[in-house]
């Protein structure tokens, strides 16, 4: 098989994978993760369940792929913000605001989506751990630049990044965001961000 034919096969496969993930995410959002079956996804796409299984071994694999896609979008947003030509403090501020807004918009827009995210977190998938590690590396880079520019105090940037993440986790962790939204005895988004940035100085 020549390269052109292989590329066409890869492209067709990716199109099918994307169609399956789009349909599954739509159904998970509408009916809930627990109530949606592979047969439901197949029916929505007008194909047989066997065809779905050519691309994904199980509903769990489909769910994991959707989770990976959400995290990739989150990382891209974080990467773009962390590389803006502005001060380190402002990049960190925009990063946390961006993650908070994405959590609200993408993961908490409906209770059914929240269920899907909670299941993913409870399964402790490696894709989530890798995302956390990659995000910590991004933030550590921003902190190093802040230290070099005299914005932040001299310190271990990796430790500072992990601590910054822990201090703002209630603004980025779907379950914590959901629990804190209606609480009046919690620090506000602005208060928590400013406190965390001040700690770096």
Distance CA 156, CA 139 (A): 12
Cβ within 8 Å of residue 189, ≥6 positions away: 96, 97, 100, 171
Query: In this model, does residue 100 exceed pLDDT 60?
Result: yes
Residue by residue, DSSP assigns 72-91 as HHHHHHHHHHHTSSS-HHHH
**Number of folded domains in the chain?**
2
Average pLDDT over residues 166-179: 78
For residues 30 and 106, state if they share a domain.
Answer: no
Look up the pTM and report it: 0.79
For residues 7 and 68, state if they share a domain.
Answer: no
Residue 22 pLDDT = 94
For residues 93 and 39, state if they share a domain.
Answer: no
Residue 45 pLDDT = 95
64-73 per-position pLDDT tens digit: 888 888 888 8
For residues 156 and 119, state if they share a domain.
Answer: yes
Query: In this model, does residue 142 exceed pLDDT 60?
Result: yes
Distance CA 171, CA 173 (A): 6
For residues 121 and 83, state if they share a domain.
Answer: yes
Distance CA 195, CA 176 (A): 18
pLDDT band at 178 (very low <50, low <70, confident <90, very high): low
- The CATH number of the domain holding residue 137 is 1.10.357.10
Structural domain boundaries, residue 190:
59-200
**Out of 30-44, 115-129, 184-198, which region has the weakest mean confidence (pLDDT)?**
115-129
Average pLDDT over residues 126-142: 91
Higher pLDDT, 122 or 40: 40
Q: Check if the beta carbon of residue 93 is closer than 8 Å to that of residue 163.
A: no
51-94 per-position pLDDT tens digit: 999 999 999 899 888 888 888 888 999 999 999 999 999 999 99
Residue 112 pLDDT = 55
Looking at 41, 57, 73, the residue that finishes a domain is: 57
């Amino acid at each position: 098989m020549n390269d052109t034919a292989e590329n066409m096969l890869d492209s067709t496969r990716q199109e099918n994978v994307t169609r399956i993930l789009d349909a599954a995410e739509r159904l998970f959002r509408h009916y809930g993760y627990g109530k949606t079956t592979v047969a439901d996804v197949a029916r929505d796409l007008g194909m047989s369940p066997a065809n779905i299984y050519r691309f994904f071994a199980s509903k769990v694999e489909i769910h994991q792929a959707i989770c990976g896609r959400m995290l990739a979008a989150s990382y891209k947003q974080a990467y773009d913000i962390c590389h803006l030509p502005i001060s380190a403090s402002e990049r960190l501020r925009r990063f946390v605001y961006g993650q908070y807004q994405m959590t609200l918009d993408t993961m908490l827009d409906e209770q059914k989506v929240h269920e899907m995210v909670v299941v993913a977190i409870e399964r402790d998938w490696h894709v989530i751990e890798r995302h956390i590690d990659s995000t910590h590396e991004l933030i550590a880079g921003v902190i190093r630049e802040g230290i070099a520019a005299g914005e932040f105090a001299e310190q271990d940037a990796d430790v500072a990044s992990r601590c910054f993440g822990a201090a703002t986790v209630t603004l980025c962790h779907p379950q914590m965001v959901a629990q804190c939204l209606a609480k009046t005895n919690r620090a506000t988004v602005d208060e928590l961000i400013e406190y965390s940035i001040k700690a770096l100085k």
